[in-house]
């Protein structure tokens, strides 16, 4: 509601930021010999701020439940969830992907990825879904996909991380999640040639109807 620009009075260097529907995250830049801290603020519904309680925060607050000394390189925010990516390629998640689901109140390691030695390189979160890509060409998604955004054939939702088979073996250099869509930037190599081509003329004609 405050339309004025507010300067946060902390002398902390920031390397990444993310904003969800009603909350925000800031990731501290690395410094020699220390880990990197995550700060969150905004609406605290569903544990989205990671402080193990559903309470709003009006100023950035350190997420103390992250393992001490942890080195992080990226954060992401969905409508009601937050994620952090470590330099080792492990993903921490908190919040919910489904408004009626059980909330994760503080950062929790995504075991399905870490325990199977997946090294995540990129991650993102949309209105009700999460997507991650790995260094060997695996794409993993979970959450709600009412518009087919998860890319799981025959499924519109997945409570647990699931592989997107149509993108198997394709290396992603970036991804973005939105309202009803997920976009990937795929490395141009022999594997990428198997992807189907979009008929842009057919799309344009359908939009005219």
Tens-digit pLDDT profile for residues 134-176: 999 999 999 999 999 999 988 889 999 999 999 999 999 999 9
Q: Above 80 in pLDDT, residue 122?
A: yes
Closest CA to 122 of 114, 133, 111: 133
pLDDT recorded at residue 164: 95
Q: Above 70 in pLDDT, residue 54?
A: yes
Residues 67, 39: Cα–Cα separation, whole Å: 14
Structure-token pair, residue 148: 């087919």
Q: In what order do the strands lie in the sheet with 139-144?
A: 120-125, 129-134, 139-144, 157-163
Structure-token pair, residue 42: 């905004």
Q: Above 70 in pLDDT, residue 2?
A: no
The DSSP 8-state label assigned to residue 67 in this structure reads: P
Are residues 176 and 183 in contact, defined by beta-carbon separation less than 8 angstroms? yes
Mean pLDDT of 5-16: 78
Q: Above 60 in pLDDT, residue 192?
A: yes
pLDDT recorded at residue 3: 63
Q: Above 80 in pLDDT, residue 52?
A: yes
Q: Sign of the C-alpha dihedral, residues 85, 100, 112, 156?
A: negative
Tens-digit pLDDT profile for residues 72-97: 999 999 999 999 999 999 999 999 99
Are residues 97 and 129 in contact, defined by beta-carbon separation less than 8 angstroms? yes
pLDDT recorded at residue 9: 64
* Pick from 32-36, 86-90, 110-114: least confident: 32-36
């Amino acid at each position: 509601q405050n339309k004025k620009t507010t300067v946060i009075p902390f002398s902390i260097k920031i390397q990444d930021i993310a904003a969800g529907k009603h909350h925000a995250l800031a990731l501290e830049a690395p410094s020699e010999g220390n880990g990197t801290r995550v700060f969150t603020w905004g609406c605290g519904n569903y544990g989205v701020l990671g402080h193990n309680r559903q309470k709003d925060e009006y100023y950035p607050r350190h997420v103390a439940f992250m393992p001490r000394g942890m080195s992080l390189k990226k954060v992401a925010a969905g409508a009601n969830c937050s994620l952090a990516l470590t330099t080792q390629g492990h993903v921490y998640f908190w919040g919910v992907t489904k408004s009626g689901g059980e909330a994760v109140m503080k950062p929790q390691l995504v075991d399905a990825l870490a325990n199977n030695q997946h090294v995540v390189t990129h991650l993102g979160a949309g209105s009700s879904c999460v997507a991650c890509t790995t260094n060997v060409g695996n794409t993993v998604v979970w959450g709600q996909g009412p518009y087919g955004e998860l890319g799981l054939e025959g499924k519109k939702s997945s409570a647990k991380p699931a592989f997107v088979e149509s993108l198997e073996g394709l290396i992603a250099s970036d991804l973005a999640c939105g309202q009803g869509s997920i976009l990937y930037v795929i490395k141009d190599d022999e594997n990428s040639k198997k992807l189907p081509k979009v008929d842009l003329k057919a799309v344009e004609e359908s939009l005219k109807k």
